[in-house]
A and B are shown apart, each in its own frame.
Chain A
Amino acid sequence: MNATLELVAERLSQLIGQTAVPSRPPMPVSANLAASTASFVSGPVQAVDHALKGYDLDVSVPPGLVVLAARILDNAGFGIDAVTGVDWMAQGEMEIVYDYFHPSSSSRVAVRTRVSRADPELPTISAVFPGANWHERETHDFFGIRFLGHPNLAPFLLPEDADFHPLRKDYKP
């Protein structure tokens, strides 16, 4: 883990603190990475092996903290890579994954959160990263997740009068 990742991991751990986060199975971590980042291996902020997963830090936050997490990453110089959703219908939840990349250091952070499937809403991060505006609009298009405070959640890739969300697992064409 380089200095940028350690700084961000520490700040995010402080942010999450004692808040309960949804449980996930542990991520595969290579042996030497685990030795140097023992305090981050388990829990909501996990260092993972880039060669195995494609990103370096895996962070789980409750939905209310996504904006503060985005701000921490913005201050550390990260750029927004993508915002997307995953529909876990069997668990009655929708997961929103924020991917961040760093322009100069080889650091990739994935921030995840989960909302209930029946009423999926969470704050928008487009005030921190204007690029997330389009990503969130597309995620709303595909999943129906509402981003509170977003300036324009009208259909983007789908037709203007679309009232369906195709990437939901119970979508019938």
Chain B
Amino acid sequence: MLNLGPQHPAAHGVLRVLMTMDGEWITKAEPVIGYIHRMHEKMGENRTWAQFLPNTSRIDYLSAMHYTHAFVGAVERAAKIEVPARAEYVRVITSELNRISSHLVWWGAMLLDLGGFTPILYAFEDREKILDLLEGLCGARLTYCYYRFGGLCNDVDDEFLNGTRTFVKEMRPRLGMYRNLVTDNIILRKRLTGVGPISAELCRKYGATGPVIRGSGVPYDVRTVEPYSVYPKFDFKIPIYQEGDSMARYLVRMDEMEQSLRIIEQALDNLPAGPFMGKVPRVLKLPPGDTCYAVEAARGRFMVRIVSDGKDTPYRLKLRTPSFCNLSLYEEASRGMILPDALAMLGSLDLVIPDIDR
């Protein structure tokens, strides 16, 4: 019995995995979660709709913009609040920047798990540029609370727009450098190819989404299958790889960073002028009933289901997080794997434990 304890350099946060071993091979790996469970869903019931906004950033702090987007979108859908076009474009720009910064953390951390100590420093150097841009925009480096019901907290300024253009220009050659340094590296190829195969059927049965299901050949991306915001206006590809192994999931995320740069460029070129905030009633009370809103977060499908009884606080707030469902297949998928391969697969699932525990 081997305990990959909650404090562990490769456990991506406070994740505990109870592994029953046969030598170096795993016979059973049972994740134990709950070490960072803060009960956001109960907090949702005790706060007004607007008071819950800071909580949304803390569910998955690495891709906080997406989570705020889903909650704000759900309330706007239920209350039929119109969002002006400029606000939607800025939401897309900031969400895609957040996706890149989240994938950079994943990339650095996963390679750290595999034993490569250098790439995380390069990744964080690029990530610092994104964090500086977003800090200048909304004041926060990690747990942004930038979206409001009906639009944004404040408008973008030229400093942000010019800085983002510069970042996109500088990031493309960096991605090329990552490809030469790491992706085409024989050691990485040998560590990840064929490791941790996940079939499309397994993904469907467990509800795994995001790069996990796209690395198994299924073109499921909430931005194209259930379009929201202004994503239909942009021309971007959804990277799909058929092999279903850790290398496929790795390549999906590397390609997604390129596609995010494309989306940001198109949004910057077509950014409409106008107001950044729509009309919102002073005291927000939603009609009784339930509403869902799903976004493609950096890790997969994040869905918010709000149940309202007409008051100014939610009656029930369900947060369906991608990492919870992505980890649930680990027990079945890791049977019979050797330990280093199991850790490589855990890294390729891109887990953020606060996302699992909420």
A residues touching B (Cβ–Cβ < 8 Å)? Answer: 25, 27-28, 50-55, 74, 77-82, 84, 86-87, 97, 99, 101, 103-106, 108, 110, 129-131, 133-134, 142, 155-159, 166-167
Which residues of B are found within 8 Å of A84, using beta-carbon distances? Answer: 305, 316, 318, 320
B206 touches A80 (CB 8 A): yes
- State the B residues within 8 Å of A (CB): 33-34, 37, 39, 41-42, 45, 74, 77, 200, 203-209, 213, 218-220, 225-226, 288-294, 301, 303, 305, 307, 315-316, 318, 320, 324-325, 328-329, 332, 357-358
Asked if B77 and A130 sit within 8 Å, CB to CB, the answer is no
Extra inter-chain contacts (4) besides given A82-B318, A131-B325, CB under 8 Å: A54-B305, A99-B305, A130-B205, A142-B41
- How far does the alpha carbon of A28 sit from the alpha carbon of B33 in the complex, in Å? 39
Known: A53-B291, A108-B292, A167-B41. A103 touches B307 (CB 8 A): no
Please indicate which of the listed interface residues A54, A103, A108, A159 has the most CB atoms of chain B within 10 Å of its own CB: A54
Residue in A closest to B36 when the chains form the complex, CB atoms: A157
Check A108 against B203 for contact (C-beta < 8 Å): no
Chain A-chain B contacts (Cβ-Cβ < 8 Å), number: 115
- The answer to whether B292 touches A53 (Cβ under 8 A) is yes
Whether B207 pairs with A79 at a CB distance below 8 angstroms is yes
Cβ contacts under 8 Å, A52 to chain B:
77, 291
Contact B305 A82, beta carbon cutoff 8 Å: yes
| B33 close to A157 (CB less than 8 A) | yes
Taking CB atoms, residues of chain B closer than 8 Å to A167 are 41-42, 45, 316
Our pick among A80, A82, A101, A130 for the contact of B332 (Cβ within 8 Å) is: A130
Chain B nearest CB: distance from A53 CB in Å? 6
Of B34, B292, B316, B332, which is within 8 A of A86 by CB? Answer: B316
Task: Kindly report which residue of chain A lies nearest to residue B77, judged by CB atoms.
Answer: A54
Rounded to whole angstroms, the CA-CA distance of A79 and B288 in the bound complex is 28
Assess whether B207 is in contact with A157, with CB atoms less than 8 Å apart: no
Contact between chains at B33 and A104 (CB < 8 Å): no
Specify which chain B residues have a CB less than 8 angstroms from the CB of A28 in the assembled complex: 289
From A86, A129, A158, B205 is in contact (CB under 8 Å) with: A129
For the complex, what is the distance from the CA of A157 to the CA of B207, rounded to whole Å?
A: 19
